[in-house]
């Protein structure tokens, strides 16, 4: 997992940045072929996740293009010494920072601003039959979310705990 702070060029007109540059990211050790881009919009208090792909596993490069979100990655690689551990970072359109969520990690975020738009690149296509998920408030993982009563989809509200979840190989 990596947190990325892109170079941002700002002046009186606004700003410019490269959200991805293959050569520069390869130099930083990110050698991934991106297949799909996703864009979501959510209102304050929304929590999406924790999601992952068991089949068609995906690396994800994630950033906020509007607003702010607390973004989380959880290690779900069986046998990993950090299995069940999480890392969180505030992604914001103002900071323009990114997080690389590798294959074998569950991903989720909650919206801190009135609205937030998240974009992310994926290294494989979405496969509904191959998806997995873990409930956001799993006590074993114990993520320190900055919200206590999130807005959830019915699907996310019904996700299992990590010990009952369909596991990444």
Q: Are 49 and 108 in contact (CB under 8 A)?
A: yes
N-to-C CA span, the chain: 18
- The rounded distance, in Å, linking the Cα atoms of 135 and 153 is 11
Q: Largest alpha-carbon pair distance within the chain? A: 53
**Active-site residue set:** 51, 120
Q: Give the HSE-up count for residue 149: Cα atoms under 13 Å, Cβ half-sphere.
A: 0
């Amino acid at each position: 997992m990596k947190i990325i702070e892109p170079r941002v060029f700002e002046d009186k007109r606004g700003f410019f940045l490269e959200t991805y540059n293959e050569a520069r990211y390869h130099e930083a050790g990110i050698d991934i072929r991106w297949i799909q881009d996703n864009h979501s919009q959510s209102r304050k208090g929304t929590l999406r996740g924790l999601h992952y792909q068991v089949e068609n596993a995906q690396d994800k490069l994630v950033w906020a293009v509007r607003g702010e979100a607390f973004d989380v990655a959880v290690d779900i690689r069986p046998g990993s010494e950090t299995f069940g551990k999480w890392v969180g970072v505030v992604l914001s359109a103002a900071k323009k920072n990114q997080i690389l969520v590798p294959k074998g990690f569950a991903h989720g975020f909650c919206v801190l601003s009135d609205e937030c738009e998240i974009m992310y690149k994926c290294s494989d296509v979405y496969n509904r039959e191959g998806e997995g998920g873990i409930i956001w408030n799993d006590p074993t993982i114990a993520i320190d979310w900055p919200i206590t009563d999130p807005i959830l989809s019915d699907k996310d509200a019904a996700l299992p705990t990590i010990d009952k979840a369909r596991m990444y190989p």
